[in-house]
Structure 1
Amino acid sequence: MKIGVLGTGNMADALGTHWVRAGHEVIVGGRDEEKARRLAARIGGGVRHGSPRAAAGFGEVVLAALPYGAGQEVAGELGAALDGKVLVDCSNPVGAGFRLLTGAGPSAAQRLAAAAPGARVVKAFNLCHEDVWRMNPPVFDGRPLAVPVCGDDAAALALVGGLVRDAGCEPVSAGGLERAGLLEATAALFIALWVGEGADAQAIAPPLAYAAGAGL
């Protein structure tokens, strides 16, 4: 598959590396083409680099590995170059004090979709630190990491689910794009627990057998 990566930061590096290992063709696109060149060289495997427009034009799937707000701005600049593309949003709109920056308004993913109305936006890869995505693969106690995925287009969800598996993880259907805000709020909560309280967020949920009262 052809994948365009918008951004030159840690998430672009970690996910791009997984996908190159899985045999996909990747172009890294950055406003700073020198940073894009350095990231492409670090990932290796024949990864090319260029502008955001070059990456968007190349990819069947385009990863928006950009901070909250920047993704909307870049999508607006790219315009029709994103039409028909599967656009993956991994951003977290979390600010100082672990505050959800979107408040009661649309989620970051919905705002990205509004900025790129011709794209098929999928929310994924937002619940873990980039160092987790650098693991090859992210497996804990023998169990692959589960990755919630939200979106409205079945074909887009299938493509992103494949990319989740290519990272050594298991996709979990989390509903339509209207539920992306729940994923983003979960990230804000988890970050507050992990960073603010030093708590194990995984310990707050009972095993599946007990989740709905079964097994009691």
Structure 2
Amino acid sequence: MRIGVIGTGNMADALGTHWVRAGHEVLIGGRDGKAAAALAARIGAGRHGSPRAAAEFGDVVLFALPYAAGAPVAAALGTALRGRVLIDCSNPVGAGFALLTEADGGPSAARRLAEAAPGAHVVKAFNLCHEDVWRMTPPVFGGRPLAVPLCGDDEEALAVVRQLVRDTGCTPVRAGGLARAGLLEATAALVIGVWVGEGADAQAMLPPLV
């Protein structure tokens, strides 16, 4: 699979590493060419370029960008994202662990990305865990692989992202359409506040299914 990664930070590093190891072709795209080249070399991707180069290269495009940067970058790329599977792993979480999308009463981060990139198939995924979790090979806790919820409307796009989740050693979980992506983002705000703000074990809030 051809994957364009837009961003050169920790999430780009962690997820890109898994996908290179799984045998996918990965191109790292960043506004800072040196940072993109360094990350590509570090994870063994072998390809790097601009955000546009990543968008045009990938059948799948990971937006590993801060929330505020996502929609503007998508809008600037325009038709380069048309027909692509676009993975949004951002969290619109601000000071005091507030959900930033609530402040202006607007749609979820994932929905804003979809509005900025018409024709792209947006899937919300990989947003509930710190990047150090994604660096685990694989992320398994108490013998159970990490479950990764996905929100999206396009079945083919969801099937593609499910495979990419499995390539990280995790288990994909269908969490509904893109209209429910805001619930995933709100869950991230809650969990980050519990973990970081209170120093509590967020995982202990939910009992096992059995």
Q: TM-score range by the shorter chain?
A: over 0.9
Match of 1:145 in 2: 146
| Amino acid in the other structure paired with 1:112 | L
Quote how far apart the aligned CAs of 1:105 are: 2.2
**Alpha-carbon distance between aligned partners in 2 of 1:21 and 1:120, rounded to the nearest angstrom:** 25
Matched to 2:21, the amino acid is R
Q: What do residues 143-173 of structure 1 show as CA deviations (whole Å, max 9, x unaligned)?
A: 1000000000000000000000000000000
1:50-74, CA deviations, whole angstroms, 9 ceiling, x for partnerless residues?
Answer: 0011000000000000000211111
Aligned to 2:39: 39
1:60 aligned residue: 59
Aligned residues: 208
User: How far apart are the structure 2 equivalents of 1:205 and 1:142?
Assistant: 17
In structure 2, the partner of 1:19 is 19
Aligned residue in 2 for 1:213: none
Unmatched 5+ residue regions in structure 1? 210-216
Name the counterpart of 1:78: 77
Alpha-carbon distance in 2 for matches of 1:208, 1:105 = 34
| Letter paired with 1:35 | A
Aligned match of 2:178:
177
User: How far, CA to CA, are the matches of 2:54 and 2:205 in structure 1?
Assistant: 40
SS at match of 1:36: helix
Q: Which amino acid aligns with 2:149?
A: P
- 1:118, CA displacement in angstroms? 1.2
Q: Give runs of ≥4 in structure 1 deviating > 4 Å.
A: none
Give the distance between the partners of 1:14 and 1:114, measured in 2 at CA: 27
Q: Which runs of 5+ in 2 are unaligned?
A: none
Instruction: Look up the match of 1:93.
Output: 92
- Where 2:156 maps in the other structure, the secondary structure is helix
Sequence identity, in percent? 77
**Counterpart code for 2:152:** G
- Residue in structure 2 matched with residue 28 of structure 1 by the alignment: 28
Which residue of the partner structure matches residue 105 of structure 1? 106
If you compute each CA radius of gyration, which structure gives the higher value, 1 or 2? 1
